């Protein structure tokens, strides 16, 4: 059974959802593969890319277990396969250059500093190659969602609005963009013809007690993207710190199902 859908979610911890088909040799160490509860091949794929959630040293498998703990029996989709990747182990400037599992580097954890665009683009190129592997195996881009938590959410925003605007949707949880992000520049330069083409909708959630990434940063990011023409949905998570909560995961999963409903082949 050939896959027909795929979702990439970039979050503070690293999580990737990918099919069992060939994974690029240079990215094979990022991917942890799983099957759906029935053990059958799944026709849709979800990729979570988490970065710096509670502990940036966590792995995709660690986040997968946390999602399963929060959602229990609701943590899987009958028609979607979920794979959790681990970000590369690299030096991270906000930690004084200490090596950590991060998707890209930052000058500082603040929207007021420049993006470390070189590391963003290098990682985006690798993730795009990974996604293109799935497209080549039969998964249309419009059956793929990208998203993530914290830095992973920012990574997903770059993927969905700079590199792969044909995807079915983008989500970002507890995430923000730098004030002069390359994403804003790309969207502001869209031609009249390009504006006639729908960009993927954006789903965002943010804890109202987040002290690492204040909700103000997330809301401002969402507002700017909305003014640039995106269909955005922002949800405040009450009494939540910089963390994943069952409430937001349930909202996210409901949104994913609206973007990737079962096809006739899945029934």
Per the annotation, the verdict on 210 as an active-site residue is yes
Q: Which of 10, 18, 79, 210 is catalytic?
A: 210
Residue 23: the pLDDT is: 33
Q: DSSP letter string over 91-152?
A: E-GGGTT-EEE-SS--S-SSTTS---HHHHHHHHHHHHHHHHHHHHTT--GGGEEEEEEBHH
Residue 10: the pLDDT is: 44
> Is this model's pTM higher than 0.85 or not?
no
Residue 97: the pLDDT is: 93
CA angle (171, 129, 93) in 5-degree steps: 65
Torsion of CA 45, 51, 55, 58, to 10 degrees: 40
The tokens describing 129, both together, are: 């190659």
Give the other-Cβ count within 10 Å of 205's Cβ: 27
Pairing of strands 202-207, 232-237: parallel
Helix ranges (H only) for the chain are 60-71, 117-136, 151-158, 182-188, 192-195, 215-227, 246-259
Q: Which of 79, 158, 206, 242 is catalytic?
A: 242
Q: Which of 12, 150, 174, 175 is catalytic?
A: 150
Residue 190: the pLDDT is: 94
Terminal alpha carbon distance of the chain: 13
- DSSP secondary-structure letter at 167? S
Give the pLDDT of the chain (267 residues) as one tens digit per residue: 344 455 554 444 333 333 233 333 334 444 443 434 444 444 445 554 443 333 444 566 667 777 777 777 765 666 676 667 778 889 999 999 999 888 999 999 999 999 999 999 999 999 898 888 888 888 888 888 888 888 889 999 999 999 999 999 999 999 999 999 999 999 999 998 888 889 999 999 999 999 999 999 999 999 999 999 999 999 999 999 998 888 988 899 889 889 888 776 665
Show the domains of the chain with their CATH numbers: 6-266 (3.40.50.1820)
Cα–Cα distance, 127 to 115 (Å, whole number) = 18
Cα 235 versus chain centre, distance: 16
What is the number of residues in the chain?
Answer: 267
Per the annotation, the verdict on 242 as an active-site residue is yes
Residue 124: the pLDDT is: 94
- DSSP secondary-structure letter at 42? P
């Amino acid at each position: 059974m050939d896959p027909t859908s795929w979702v990439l979610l970039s979050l503070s911890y690293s999580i990737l959802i990918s099919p069992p088909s060939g994974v690029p040799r240079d990215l094979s160490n990022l991917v942890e593969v799983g099957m759906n509860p029935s053990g059958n091949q799944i026709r849709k794929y979800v990729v979570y890319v988490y970065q710096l959630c509670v502990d940036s040293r966590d792995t995709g498998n660690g986040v997968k277990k946390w999602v399963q703990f929060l959602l229990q029996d609701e943590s899987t989709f009958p028609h979607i396969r979920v794979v959790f990747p681990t970000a590369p182990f690299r030096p991270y400037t906000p930690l004084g250059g200490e090596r950590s599992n991060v998707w890209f580097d930052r000058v500082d954890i603040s929207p007021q500093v420049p993006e470390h665009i070189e590391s963003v683009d290098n990682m985006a190129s690798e993730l795009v190659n990974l996604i293109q592997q799935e497209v080549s195996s039969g998964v249309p881009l419009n059956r793929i969602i990208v998203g993530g938590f914290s830095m992973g959410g920012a990574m997903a925003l770059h993927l969905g609005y700079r590199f792969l605007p044909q995807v079915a949707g983008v989500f970002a949880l507890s995430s923000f963009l730098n004030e002069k992000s390359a994403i804003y520049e790309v969207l502001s330069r869209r031609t009249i013809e390009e504006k006639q083409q729908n960009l993927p909708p954006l789903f965002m959630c943010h804890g109202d007690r987040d002290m690492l990434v204040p909700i103000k940063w997330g809301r401002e990011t969402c507002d700017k993207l909305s003014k640039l023409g995106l269909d955005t949905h922002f949800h405040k998570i009450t009494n939540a710190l910089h963390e994943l909560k069952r409430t937001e995961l349930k909202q996210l999963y409901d949104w994913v199902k609206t973007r990737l409903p079962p096809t006739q082949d899945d029934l």
